[in-house]
Amino acid sequence: MKIKSQLSQIITQALQSANIETTDAIVISDATKPEFGDYQFNGIMKLAKILKKNPREIATTVLEHIDTTGMIDRVEVAGPGFINIWLDNEWLAKASTSILDDDRVGVGYVETPQKVVIDYSGPNMAKQMHVGHLRSSIIGDTLATLLEFLGDEVIRQNHIGDWGTQFGMLIAYLEEQGTDTASQNLKDLEQFYKDAKVRFDESEDFANKAREYVVKIQQGDAHCLKLWKQFIDTSLGHCEEVYEKLGVNLNREDVRAESFYNDALSNIISTLKEQNISTTSDGAECVFLEGSDVPLIIQKGDGGYLYATTDLAALKFRAKELEADRICYVVDARQGGHFKQVFAISKMAGMVGEEVNLEHIAFGTMMDKSGKPFKTRDGGTVKLIDLLDEAVVRAKATIKEREGHEEAELEKVAKAIGIGAVKYADLSISRESNYLFSWDKMLSFDGNTALYMQYAYARIQSIFRKHNGEINGEIIIGDALEHRLSLMLLKFEDTLTKASIEATPHTITSYLYDLVTLFMKFYEQNPILKEGVEEEIKMSRLQLALLTANVIKKGLDILGIEVVDKI
């Protein structure tokens, strides 16, 4: 339910009928404290300054014009000129009852759907996926699911790295090994790469062949291309295993590899040359931008292209061919400078229209306990697949002592909890800051963790199992806690909207945490199935519980995290 925009309209109307003119957007905020109501409007003070009038006087006048039929219970002027708003219990009851059977739990669609390209994950085919790919993959996936749910048309783009000099070496080695035995060796790409590198360093012949193969692939040599394709296919298969485990919704159709843009690269250069945007400097083709002392190099002195060139081609493709309104790059924050340049140039050269929103959805680095980038004990990169397997093993250990799990069920629950923990830990931190990786913290039942949400969900399911019957009737708001809970449930849409605009998954996790905390309080204080609870109240509370479960489930679903009925 779009509560804030409804309230904003009511206030706008009140201002109009009070003959107060303003050009500012009417922004409704959540009340900072329960005693200040549910929502507040803080714009009167600013208005008073412009009108040179007493803010409390204006607030009082506006107050008289606020239409309180329906949604609003009461309003008051407080402090220097705040307008505090309490929502009506009847209205809350009705509104929350009405979304009980809704599989969108009351969430509507965006008014003007956009075509949004989301570039995320983007693994390098020469290597195994490591923890560095985790954040891009899950933040991007959440964003994609979220925008899709809200009604945008989302085009996922997995910009895999399948091009470059290292592939000459790799396919030369693949050929040398024989493609049959090699497919076995390709199971560990990291090792395969190392072995190939050893060969490269020890044998001059091999090294020459590797270099020769790079050229041959680029020239479209059928034999080399076949080997190359085989290699990419195997490597991509590894990625898909990770996606499967991680529950990331990327498949072959979403792959638009670097190599896809090869044919477009020369055109990018000529376009920039023609418009005099680029100049030759030290033999390389460069674009110098104001405010940046370092140019963006788009073509090397030897005529070769760079990833900047590919990025420009990709931007053009996404804007012109895919006709995107918004293009999001879910990429490490360290590439901020690069994207700033590439975005500016693409617009300058008309490769991307002015109206297209280009966003670098930046995220920080994953750190270990000592505050250094996350590595294995011997300093290597942590393979993503190993990390995920460990998460499941650890999750299993934490829940094993709990009663009533059969082996198959335990496996399933451990998977939901382990993977959920890893994803939630990552998504719940504001994405631009670096984040500290800690098994203990992410697998804790306490605090803002996936497990706490899953536990709350399981607890609710347990109530239903015990009740084991029909749930009907209406939601009745009986006390302040039920008032707050039903309102919180109705705030789901406003939360998702904010998260989608700012591309901040942690907005959703904070909301879920608040919701679950509130539900836990409700659960402690408002008995549902216990003796002496009137039938009407029981039904109402069962429905509040049901709605809470539905919102938790949908919220976690958007984050790509599963729920389980028992923990």
Partner RNA sequence: GCACUCGUAGCUCAGCUGGAUAGAGCACCCGCCUUCUAAGCGGGCGGUCUCAGGUUCGAAUCCUGACGGGUGUACCA
Task: Measure the CA–CA gap between 238 and 125, rounded to whole angstroms.
Answer: 9
- Least separation in angstroms between residue 179's CB and RNA is 26
Which region, judged by CB under 7 A, interacts with RNA, from 5-13, 242-250, 319-327, 559-567?
Answer: 559-567
Amino acid 178 reads G
Q: Does 567 bind RNA (CB under 7 A)?
A: yes
Long-range contacts: 272-275, Cβ < 8 Å, 24+?
A: 272/298, 272/345, 272/349, 275/348, 275/349
Torsion sign across C-alpha atoms 274, 280, 286, 287: negative
- Least separation in angstroms between residue 10's CB and RNA is 17
Q: How far is CA 219 from the centre of its chain?
A: 39
Which region, judged by CB under 7 A, interacts with RNA, from 95-103, 206-214, 516-524, 546-554?
Answer: 516-524
Comparison of 336 and 380: residue with beta carbon closer to RNA: 336
Which region, judged by CB under 7 A, interacts with RNA, from 239-247, 262-270, 482-490, 528-536?
Answer: 528-536
Comparison of 153 and 359: residue with beta carbon closer to RNA: 359
Comparison of 183 and 266: residue with beta carbon closer to RNA: 266
Q: Does 357 bind RNA (CB under 7 A)?
A: no
Write the DSSP string, 91-160. Answer: HHHHHHHHTTT-TTTT----SS--EEEEE----BTTS--BGGGHHHHHHHHHHHHHHHHTT-EEEEEB--
Among 70, 108, 113, 336, binds RNA (CB under 7 A): 336
Three-state secondary structure call for residue 54: coil
- Least separation in angstroms between residue 176's CB and RNA is 23
Among 241, 385, 461, 553, binds RNA (CB under 7 A): 461
Comparison of 7 and 567: residue with beta carbon closer to RNA: 567
Q: Are 79 and 125 in contact (CB under 8 A)?
A: no
Q: Are 124 and 231 in contact (CB under 8 A)?
A: no
Task: Measure the CA–CA gap between 49 and 37, rounded to whole angstroms.
Answer: 25
Comparison of 70 and 80: residue with beta carbon closer to RNA: 80
Binding mask 410-439 for RNA (x = CB under 7 A): -------------------xx-xxxxx---
- Least separation in angstroms between residue 244's CB and RNA is 24
Q: Does 339 bind RNA (CB under 7 A)?
A: no
Long-range contacts: 539-543, Cβ < 8 Å, 24+?
A: 539/471, 539/472, 539/473, 539/474, 540/473, 540/474, 540/475, 540/476, 540/478, 540/482, 541/482, 542/463, 542/464, 542/467, 542/471, 543/96, 543/97, 543/100, 543/471, 543/473, 543/474, 543/475
For residue 258, give the H/E element and its range.
none
Comparison of 206 and 457: residue with beta carbon closer to RNA: 457
- Give me the count of residues in the chain: 567
Site for RNA in 41-100 (CB under 7 A): 42, 45-46, 49, 78-80, 82, 84
Number of residues that bind RNA (CB under 7 A): 90
Q: Does 381 bind RNA (CB under 7 A)?
A: no
Which region, judged by CB under 7 A, interacts with RNA, from 186-194, 206-214, 319-327, 524-532?
Answer: 524-532
Comparison of 193 and 307: residue with beta carbon closer to RNA: 307
Site for RNA in 140-199 (CB under 7 A): 161, 164
Rg, the chain, Cα only: 28
Comparison of 108 and 336: residue with beta carbon closer to RNA: 336
| CB proximity list for 287: less than 8 A, separation 6 or greater | 272, 277, 278, 279, 295, 296, 298, 341, 345
Three-state secondary structure call for residue 352: coil
Among 398, 495, 500, 540, binds RNA (CB under 7 A): 398
Comparison of 101 and 293: residue with beta carbon closer to RNA: 293
Comparison of 47 and 182: residue with beta carbon closer to RNA: 47
Which region, judged by CB under 7 A, interacts with RNA, from 206-214, 222-230, 321-329, 441-449?
Answer: 441-449
Task: Measure the CA–CA gap between 325 and 12, rounded to whole angstroms.
Answer: 30
Three-state secondary structure call for residue 327: strand
29: number of Cβ within 10 Å: 12
Site for RNA in 123-142 (CB under 7 A): 124
Structure tokens at 245: 């485990």
Edge-to-edge order in the sheet of strand 72-78: 28-30, 39-41, 82-87, 72-78
Which region, judged by CB under 7 A, interacts with RNA, from 64-72, 109-117, 230-238, 328-336?
Answer: 328-336
Site for RNA in 16-35 (CB under 7 A): 27, 29, 31-33
- Least separation in angstroms between residue 371's CB and RNA is 7
Site for RNA in 262-321 (CB under 7 A): 281-284, 286, 293-295, 297, 300-302, 304, 306-307, 310
